[in-house]
Amino acid sequence: MADLNQTDSVTSPERAILVGVTRASLDQSRAREFLQELTLLAASAGAEVVHHVIQNRKSIEAASFIGRGKAEEIASLVEERDIRLVIFDDDLSPVQVRNLERLIPCKIIDRSALILDIFASRARSREAKTQVELAQLQYMLPRLTRQWTHLSKQYGGIGTKGPGETQIETDRRAIRSRISHLNSKLRSIQRERREQRKGRSGLPRVSLVGYTNAGKSTILNLFTGADVLVEDRLFATLDSTVRMVSLSPAHRILLSDTVGFIRKLPHHLIASFRSTLEEVREADILLHVVDVSHPLFSDQIFVVNETLEEIGAGGKPTVMVYNKIDRLRDRTILGRLVREGEHAVCISASRSINRGGLEEKIIDLLEVNVSEQTIRLGHGDYPLIAQIHELAEIVERRFEDDRILLRFRMDARYAERMRKILARSSSGVKTDPTGPAAPRDGGR
């Protein structure tokens, strides 16, 4: 029985207190919403949140972030409730962590450390593990000093170098060396990804982006029947997944899903995941998936747009996909959202509501760069006609006395490949470009 109790104590979740600070730009209600998100993050990491603390401050206290009085109040809660972990919703400096640990008798971490911990537990592929380790080391490097203060105090002074300082220098060199190795490894992975993308460069690329847990993986599964992990928790998916999707006989795309964004996503994490986010940067169209049932979905849209700008993917043709409409009690806002966006659609991916509407919006954007062209080939050019079929939608085929007339619609991206195909015609090609294609079905 004693052994069983011991096992339970080892596997029991860490009891945690969450700490948020309100300032002039952040009211109490919004601070509570932010702490609710932090609660989900903590639960994703395996912690049990037992208390929230919100402090109103005009400015952040440089030494301890929240001030000595509030830190002592939290210390009392820690002792009373057997708390092992205090998580701050904002990033803390190494000095602030050190000072807080002197006042509060438990482990202190900030939002970035929590997110990095979650990413580390979810990483499965070689690339994801490399990216997360790199971000963790970059986060850890400036925070090494506080871990060795007990040694550095023992020695020091002119003519001697204390073992604490020696240990810090040794650790810093080891971490910098490891960071250099991981950066080199990621560059190699990035080259591999570029080669993979070259092999599938013939199809338009559409990338799912959005706040974490907005439903991107559910949409990917809806279109492809893939078995990508779908869970109602933050950062369920870290690795990018690419699948071919046929929207219609004439419209095939490569649809990619990757890691979700979140408020205050650590900068080191964004930098480390650049090779994964390359799918987003090189996409022709973005599907910005929004959980429209979330009370702060407008803020989440802003965060995603801000992150897209940071990674160099801002300004791309985008379909706003307002997902989870089945969870809304009042759907009156949906009409306004659709009217405000030129390319906006409301769906429920989990219940397959309005999938056709989403497909139409994607096709509308694909059609923007489509042109229509008429050519005449010789009767001996049937192999070329088969290749044209792969790149274009054949609108008309007519047999004339000594020629075959073909009228087709084609995306501008295939113009150079089409030119090379037609150059192989045995009897020459007569072209009759008709300019941009008219909208299908007279426009929608």
DSSP string for residues in 314-349: TT--EEEEEE-GGG-S--HHHHHHHHH-TTEEE-BT
Q: Write down the pLDDT at residue 152.
A: 44
Q: Write down the pLDDT at residue 80.
A: 94
Q: Write down the pLDDT at residue 6.
A: 43
Superfamily of domain 10-118 in CATH is GTPase HflX, N-terminal domain (3.40.50.11060)
> Are 10-118 and 202-353 equal in CATH topology?
yes
Q: Write down the pLDDT at residue 387.
A: 84
Task: Record the pTM.
Answer: 0.77
Burial code (b: 16+ CB inside 10 Å, e: under 16) for 105-128 equals: ebebbbbbbbbbbbbeebbeeebb
Nearest to 124 by CA among 260, 263, 224, 241: 241
Q: Write down the pLDDT at residue 122.
A: 82
Cα 274–chain centre separation: 10
CATH classification number, 202-353, choose in 3.40.50.300, 3.20.20.80, 3.30.70.2750, 3.40.50.720: 3.40.50.300
Collapsed DSSP state (helix, strand, coil) of residue 141: helix
Averaged in consecutive runs of 10 residues, what is the pLDDT profile of the chain (444 residues)?
Answer: 44 89 76 89 92 90 94 96 94 92 94 90 84 90 62 44 63 91 90 73 86 92 74 65 85 87 85 79 93 94 93 92 95 91 93 96 87 84 82 84 84 79 74 50 40
Per-domain residue ranges of the chain:
10-118, 123-197, 202-353, 370-442
> Tell me: domain 370-442, CATH 3.30.70.240, correct?
yes
* Contact partners, residue 238, CB within 8 Å, separation at least 6: 119, 122, 123, 124, 125, 128, 132, 259, 276
Collapsed DSSP state (helix, strand, coil) of residue 208: strand
Q: Write down the pLDDT at residue 157.
A: 44
